[in-house]
Amino acid sequence: MSEPATKPLSPEILSALGAIVGEERVLTDAESAARYGADWTRVHSPAPAAVVLPGSVEEVQELVRLAARQGLAVVPSGGRTGLSGGAVACRGELVLALDRMNAIDDFNPVERTVRCGAGVVTEQLQQFAEERELFYPVDFASAGSSQIGGNISTNAGGIKVIRHGMTRDWVAGLKLVTGTGELLDLNRGLVKNNAGYDLRQLVIGAEGTLGVVVEATMRLARPPKDPAVLVLGVPDMASIMDVLAAYQGRMDLQAFEFFSELALQKVVEHQGLQRPFDTPAAYYALLEFEQVSDADMEQAMALFEHCVEQGWVLDGVISQSVAQALSLWRLREDISETISRWTPYKNDISTTVSKVPAFLAEVESVVNGAYPDFEIVWFGHIGDGNVHLNVLKPDALPMAEFQQRCGEVSRWVFEIVQRYGGSVSAEHGVGLLKKDYLLYSRSALEVDLMRQIKRAFDPEGIMNPGKIFD
């Protein structure tokens, strides 16, 4: 693989880029470089050589061909809300931002599918669906900025995975511009297509290392009926899983999230939200379920009583209106944004649901022992076996030192992950931040096969090099 260019681009290359997308859509100013060269992480300093904003599939193809000829590394860029540095350009890469390719068309009510440009913002698709009395169920706090291309490339999960699965489950087809500039039209919206390998599935979650996703056909669902939100106070992590088992045994939950008391405190303090109840609890579980009939509410209440009798739940509230449901959701959804001011070190780890209590007990004891002086905020999609462990940086501590200390502790956490057969990145991808830890959840052989697959899609090694693996 050729080394990516780190020097400023030559005037010839710049004008060749301009000839493809129009001069004004080649950005080299410092502000654009800083904006387009970074994602939500703040670990690396952005330093792209240039940013280009193509407006069509053909333009993307031409840009990639040019990059391949010149040995220029390309970073595909979506909403840049990624949490692992996948969209970071810090080594003189060409950032290819898909913002302009944001058309939604070809809505098919029979198939319940719709075609999206890669730059369609997740929330734009959610609203499109809502206006047609349908539902796009992949949702999380960054949906107002993240793009379908980015969601596909990270196989984004979010808060409804327990019921609706990950982004992967909603991609009926996609178009990819490979590292040689060729266009692949994968699966074309088919429900059934066993004619050979499903390359679409390889592209989903590839973090831009196999090519540029330029278009996708997304599936839509029927909207949930009258969702009700419960927030329960729970004395310890083990009880959360007991509550989950109790509810899941009897109801189809739409969501099962959790957060710690410190997370709640931060959100209440910084977002001006109301505590759900005064009873103190170590952890909180947030559940959402559909009220198809009165029986659902009765079931939820009966389960609540049972959980209280068992000592798994201390107190709880339930939304009485849509406004209250939204406010209760904010207690969970606003956590990421609230704590971003402490540039948290994030671990996004998972194991199978049944192993979560033992797994978390071990992680908790390691973390509490290792960070006696740090604030630790726990939250996440615990119903999927996925927790976000956030270590907040004390304001006085320099970033480099903080990163180093967290990096060391991460190794201990990941050793536990490895023993439990879990994942070092449940839904945020690997990017730059988790690259050093990939072997804790993937075998050397697996990673070697990934490299070979990348070479097949991208023989020049120009597509987002240095992400996931070196």
Ligand X SMILES: Cc1cc2nc3c(=O)[nH]c(=O)nc-3n(C[C@H](O)[C@H](O)[C@H](O)COP(=O)(O)OP(=O)(O)OC[C@H]3O[C@@H](n4cnc5c(N)ncnc54)[C@H](O)[C@@H]3O)c2cc1C
Q: By beta-carbon distance, which residue lies closest to ligand X?
A: 150
124 binds ligand X (CB under 6 A): no
How many C-beta neighbours within 10 Å does residue 235 have? 15
Residues found near other proteins in the complex (CB under 8 A):
226, 230-231, 274, 276-277, 301, 304-305, 308, 315-324, 326, 328
Euclidean distance between CA atoms 125 and 369, whole angstroms: 44
Q: Rounded to an integer, what distance in angstroms lies between the CA atom of residue 125 and that of residue 148?
A: 8
Q: How far are the Cα atoms of 162, 260, 355 from residue 382, in angstroms, in the given order? A: 9, 12, 11
Angle (nearest 5°) at CA 268 between 265 and 270? 100
Quick one: what does residue 70 bind among other proteins, ligand X, none, with the CB cut-off 5 to 8 Å set by partner type? none
Beta strands in 12-111 (DSSP E): 26-27, 50-52, 74-77, 94-97, 104-108
The alpha carbon dihedral of 172, 105, 78, 127 has a sign of negative
154 contributes a contact to ligand X by CB under 6 A: yes
Q: Which does 304 bind (CB under 5 to 8 A by kind): ligand X, other proteins, none?
A: other proteins
Distance, CA of 104 to CA of 147 (rounded, Å): 12
Write down the least CB distance from residue 291 to other proteins, Å. 9
Residues 86-105 that bind ligand X (CB under 6 A): 86-87, 98
Among 151-159, 224-232, 284-292, 409-417, which window interacts with ligand X (CB under 6 A)?
A: 151-159
342 binds ligand X (CB under 6 A): no
Q: Which is nearer to ligand X, 127 or 365 (CB)?
A: 127
Site residues for ligand X, window 31-90 (CB under 6 A)? Answer: 39-40, 75-83, 86-87
Residues paired with 178 in a beta bridge = 211
Compare residues 82 and 316 and give the one whose CB is closer to ligand X.
82
- Tell me which of ligand X, other proteins, none is bound by residue 336, counting a contact when its beta carbon lies within the kind-specific cut-off of 5 to 8 angstroms: ligand X
Q: Is residue 427 a contact residue for ligand X (CB under 6 A)?
A: yes
Q: How far is the CB of 315 from other proteins (least distance, A)?
A: 6
Task: In angstroms, give the least distance from the CB of 219 to ligand X.
Answer: 17
How many whole angstroms separate alpha carbon 77 and alpha carbon 80? Answer: 6
**386 contributes a contact to ligand X by CB under 6 A:** no
Write the burial class of residue 280 (CB in 10 Å: 0-12 exposed, 13-18 middle, 19+ buried). Answer: exposed
- Binding of residue 147 to ligand X (CB under 6 A): yes
Name the token pair of 366: 């390691």
H runs (alpha helix) in 189-278: 199-203, 237-250, 261-271
80 touches, from ligand X, other proteins, none (C-beta below 5 to 8 Å by class): ligand X
213 binds ligand X (CB under 6 A): yes
Is the CB of 139 or the CB of 458 nearer to other proteins? Answer: 139
CB contact at 8 A, 99 and 25: no
Q: Which of 61, 113, 142, 260 binds ligand X (CB under 6 A)?
A: 142
Which of 357, 400, 1, 405 has its CA nearest to residue 391? 405
Q: How far is the CB of 431 from other proteins (least distance, A)?
A: 33
When CB distances are held under 5 to 8 angstroms depending on the partner's kind, the choice from ligand X, other proteins, none that residue 319 binds is other proteins
Q: How far apart are CA 220 and CA 240, in angstroms?
A: 31
318 binds, among ligand X, other proteins, none (CB under 5 to 8 A by kind): other proteins
The three-class DSSP label of residue 383 is helix
Smallest Cα–Cα separation from 350: which of 378, 388, 379, 407?
Answer: 388
Under the binding rule (CB under 6 A), the answer on residue 423 touching ligand X is no
Q: Which stretch binds ligand X (CB under 6 A): 155-163, 317-325, 390-398, 445-453?
A: 155-163
Q: Per rule CB under 6 A, is residue 150 in the interface with ligand X?
A: yes
Size of the site for ligand X (CB under 6 A): 39
Can you tell me whether residue 207 is helix, strand or coil? coil
Task: Kindly tell me which residue out of 32, 153, 338, 441 binds ligand X, with binding defined by CB under 6 A.
Answer: 153
Contacts of 83 (CB under 8 A, 6+ apart): 39, 40, 41, 346, 348, 428, 429, 433
User: Could you list the residues that contact ligand X (CB under 6 A)?
Assistant: 39-40, 75-83, 86-87, 98, 118, 140-142, 146-147, 149-151, 153-154, 156-158, 207-208, 212-213, 336-337, 427-428, 431, 464, 467
